[in-house]
Structure 1
Amino acid sequence: SPYVAALAMDGDEMGKWVSGEKTPELLHQLSKNAKRHLEAILKGKGKTKIKRLLTPSYHLQLSETLANFSTWLAEPIVQAFDGQLIYAGGDDVLAMLPSDRAIECAKTLRAIFRGESPETEIRNLPLNVVQTGFVSAGAGYPLMVPGPEADVSVGIAIGHNKAPLQMLVREAQNAEKLAKGRYGRGAVAVSVYKHSGEIIHWGSKWDGAGLKLMEFMQQHANREKDSGKEAPISGRFPYALAGLLEPYTLMDSLPAMHEVIITEFKHVVGQQGAGLDKEKKQALEQLGQQWLEQTKKHLEDFIKLFLVETFINRHQGE
């Protein structure tokens, strides 16, 4: 592919973790025996929600989790997705990747930062989540990471391989700011810079329907290599959908048009998803409804998901 991606990751609200505003509850930090003993005492005083004290040992552990991630985990994850790490320090990561692997890499970086099992199986990488918050890697012992209460935002800029590297890096960092601002942190934002000059901006919360819908499209809109079979979803799907829905982006009251937009979406699914069986069509329609509910104030995000996905995975030569 002539397109590459720059990825910029940054931890969310790390200042609050350092200041102690987001310190975990004390009972969640204790062994089972210690918790059992202390919980009874705290219940009697109505203090079960008391937070861990802000001490030097807390800051040492926080620093250790960030150092573990940046020293042991960030680079092998990026390399597993055929990428090149530029910088990793604490909660910051900057990397270059193939454009069609950047989003999966971002999801995996986030999962490991939180000490959760990644959705994507990583081959030839000795990396396992021992238990939530701990990852075994090349260090020879389980590494403590920030854990599931922490989160990150990621910006991805996709551009032609002849585009200036500085521009891609800058736009990835701008996309990361967009993920924190427009999408409210705990999100990924993607900016696509086509060689033709067209620019597409899109983003989604990590746990929203957007990434699930994008994955569904990727699985069912790609023609099987060397099989000669057409994909169940036509390559015209995103353009047909955009043609129908773009006029609605000019309207002031999108929530009032919710049912109309869903009807239009189902119409496009019926026309351009003719290769899907009944169960898969229903699954696509359900994901579409969930995504529309989450983007009802920004219909362009609903539409651009399909345009970004089809560009990344199928039409990269334009």
Structure 2
Amino acid sequence: MTHLLSISIGPVQPFIAAARRTADLSAGSDLLVKIATAVAISVRDQGGELIFPADPATDGPNKILAKVSGDPKAIAQTAQTAAQKVLADAWASALTAEVEPHVDDALADAQVKSFLEFYAAWVPVNDDNYPEARKQVELLLAGRKALRDFEQPTSTAGIRKSPLDPARDSVILDTMPRAKGPLFLKKAEHLDAVSLIKRVQGRGEGGVPSTSELSSVALRAQIGRDNPAAFDTLSAIAESTKKRLSVGDLLYPGRLKDAVEGGELTMVQGDKARTACEGKEPPDWASYYAILCADGDKMGKLLGEMTTPAKHIAFSRNLSAFAKAANGIVSSHGGHCVYSGGDDVVALLPTHKALDCAAELAKAFHAAVRGNLSVGVAIVHHMDPLQISLERAREAEREAKKERNSLAVALHTRGGEPRIVAEQWASDYKLTTWDKWEKAFRDKDGLSHGFPYELRHLAREAKGVLSADTLKAEADRAIHSEVASTSYVVVLSADTLKAEADRILKRKQGGTGNQPYLASLEEAIGKCCNADKLEALVAKLIICRFLAQYPEVS
């Protein structure tokens, strides 16, 4: 009898997110992909017909769907053994001669063996009942995942916990060297077995930009253009660390201090780097980078349209093509793709290139599968804890998923309140208003930088007091008081604002007054039917104002 076998591997998001460094993050993603690939290959090698992923050599999603003719339970158990072997082999590779003497082997072995979550379900299938069988097997798998095994991690009193996975004890003994290789642990840093695997693999891979490297992309371009001698000095220092540090890491006094204290740089190297930087603090905008999280919308509905395995396999191939394209799109925008599997993408990007990257990803996804992609982008400080920053990107993604087919952008500056705005993609995926408003804040004759804050004050004063029409009129009056031009034509959408519009028109008419951003801003204000809508507009304007600080040459 032929069965439809569905397998799920976890934990996914917590596993990837448990990271202190970007190299940890990327190593966790890579390890998950290797585990998923091993499961898919195992099912295929046992005679299974893979439906998703279509090609295990290029895909690495944590979900596997296949038609199998043998015993589905035995096939699943063999696949589980293959998954466990990947993790066991990774642990064996992490136990280098420098690491092994300083690790609790018994505890680590128990953690490695109990870490993976592996769920499987299967139902009979034939040529006539594939849609029903697929729905049934997914329901069974969801039920199996809900019946968790609830196996508690080994915990011993007096043993320090791993901060990256606080449910697990640290496997690192007090004899482990600090502030030097191979792990370069901080004084109070302790790792569980799986986190240690990620740290060792992340150190060995190279090519994963640090948060400082990402936040400094535009600044490094400026320095390379304006002070090439200083850039060459910093490049030589970074090169001497064997890629442990980048030029970006040397530009920030706080990061530079950590590198010296952590043994990644000598004091002499630290002094040279400070001299090259002339003791200057980078501009505030150069301290931020972006994390992007994307997810396909209504994938269940799309899959429901796949009435045969052949159609589903074709769909899987299209998803695989998108996943491969996503890596290239992120790289072309100066970023690093942490994870791209099926309809999920996680990426690290320079702030000023993140929105264009998000738009290109959404466009590519629609072209590949005729579906919609919701994208969350969080702009975060390079010294903020990576796990917190990643969660902020997930929050932005959840905000985008509320309306679907949307982009949500969150700005988390130090000393400022968080700002988030979500709006649906344009049909051509162009960021027209974003580009116009950003340019308006950048131009000398454009918007005043204080304009969003006057609108914010209006919105807060207006809550529960002003009617929608009055709010629109006041908001439009504010914009025209902030525009640098002395004269322009005003067009308002609300009939109740005609009298005020006529008064402004008579007072301001004359000259050119045709700023390219004015019409779109007036249109946006015309849609502000309450204070909350105006607050959302304020958030977008504040984010545009922030992005306008980045030099166009980068």
TM-score in terms of structure 2 length? 0.40
2:394 maps to a residue whose letter is: Q
Match of 1:8 among 275, 293, 299: 293
Matching of residue 19 in structure 1 with residue 233 in structure 2: no
Match of 1:284 among 513, 517, 520: 517
Match of 1:232 among 428, 446, 459: 446
Matching of residue 179 in structure 1 with residue 400 in structure 2: yes
Q: CA deviation at 1:160?
A: 0.7
**What is the rounded CA distance, in whole Å, between the counterparts of 1:210 and 1:294 in structure 2?**
20
What is the CA RMSD across the aligned residues, in angstroms? Answer: 2.8
Distance 1:279 1:92, change over 3 A: farther
Which residue in the other structure is 1:58 paired with? 311
Q: Does the CA-based 8 Å contact 2:373-2:406 persist in structure 1?
A: yes
1:88-107 CA-to-partner distances (Å, cap 9, x unmatched) read 01111000111111111101
Q: CA deviation at 1:7?
A: 0.3
1:58 maps to a residue whose letter is: K
Matching of residue 307 in structure 1 with residue 547 in structure 2: no
Matching of residue 215 in structure 1 with residue 429 in structure 2: no
**What is the rounded CA distance, in whole Å, between the counterparts of 1:239 and 1:261 in structure 2?**
11
Distance 1:256 1:185, change over 3 A: farther
**What is the rounded CA distance, in whole Å, between the counterparts of 1:301 and 1:293 in structure 2?**
13
1:102-146 CA-to-partner distances (Å, cap 9, x unmatched) read 11110111111122xxxxxxxxxxxxxxxxxxxxxxxxxxxxx11
**What is the rounded CA distance, in whole Å, between the counterparts of 2:487 and 2:391 in structure 1?**
41
The structure showing larger relative contact order (alpha-carbon pairs under 8 Å, at least 6 residues apart) is 1
1:143-158 paired onto structure 2 within 5 Å: 145-147=368-370, 150-158=371-379
Distance 1:274 1:5, change over 3 A: farther
Q: Does the CA-based 8 Å contact 2:377-2:410 persist in structure 1?
A: yes
Which residue in the other structure is 1:163 paired with? 384
**What is the rounded CA distance, in whole Å, between the counterparts of 2:469 and 2:301 in structure 1?**
35
Which of structures 1 and 2 has the bigger CA Rg?
A: 2
SS in structure 1 at match of 2:514: helix
Which residue in the other structure is 1:112 paired with? 364
Distance 1:273 1:301, change over 3 A: farther
**What is the rounded CA distance, in whole Å, between the counterparts of 1:106 and 1:275 in structure 2?**
37
Unaligned 5+ segments in structure 1 are 21-52, 116-144, 224-229
**What is the rounded CA distance, in whole Å, between the counterparts of 1:286 and 1:104 in structure 2?**
22
**What is the rounded CA distance, in whole Å, between the counterparts of 1:273 and 1:210 in structure 2?**
27
**What is the rounded CA distance, in whole Å, between the counterparts of 1:248 and 1:301 in structure 2?**
14
1:221 maps to a residue whose letter is: F
Q: CA deviation at 1:238?
A: 2.5
**What is the rounded CA distance, in whole Å, between the counterparts of 1:255 and 1:57 in structure 2?**
56
Distance 1:273 1:213, change over 3 A: farther
1:8-34 CA-to-partner distances (Å, cap 9, x unmatched) read 0011111110122xxxxxxxxxxxxxx
Q: Does the CA-based 8 Å contact 2:451-2:479 persist in structure 1?
A: no
**What is the rounded CA distance, in whole Å, between the counterparts of 1:255 and 1:62 in structure 2?**
48
Percent identity reads 27
Q: Which structure features the higher share of helix residues?
A: 2
Which residue in the other structure is 1:126 paired with? none
Q: Does the CA-based 8 Å contact 1:248-1:254 persist in structure 2?
A: no
Matching of residue 101 in structure 1 with residue 335 in structure 2: no
Unaligned 5+ segments in structure 2 are 1-285, 489-510
SS in structure 1 at match of 2:383: coil
Q: CA deviation at 1:311?
A: 1.6
SS in structure 1 at match of 2:352: coil
**What is the rounded CA distance, in whole Å, between the counterparts of 2:302 and 2:389 in structure 1?**
30
**What is the rounded CA distance, in whole Å, between the counterparts of 2:424 and 2:485 in structure 1?**
26
Distance 1:248 1:265, change over 3 A: farther
Distance 1:308 1:275, change over 3 A: farther
1:165-199 CA-to-partner distances (Å, cap 9, x unmatched) read 11111111111111111xx1111111111111521
Matching of residue 76 in structure 1 with residue 328 in structure 2: yes
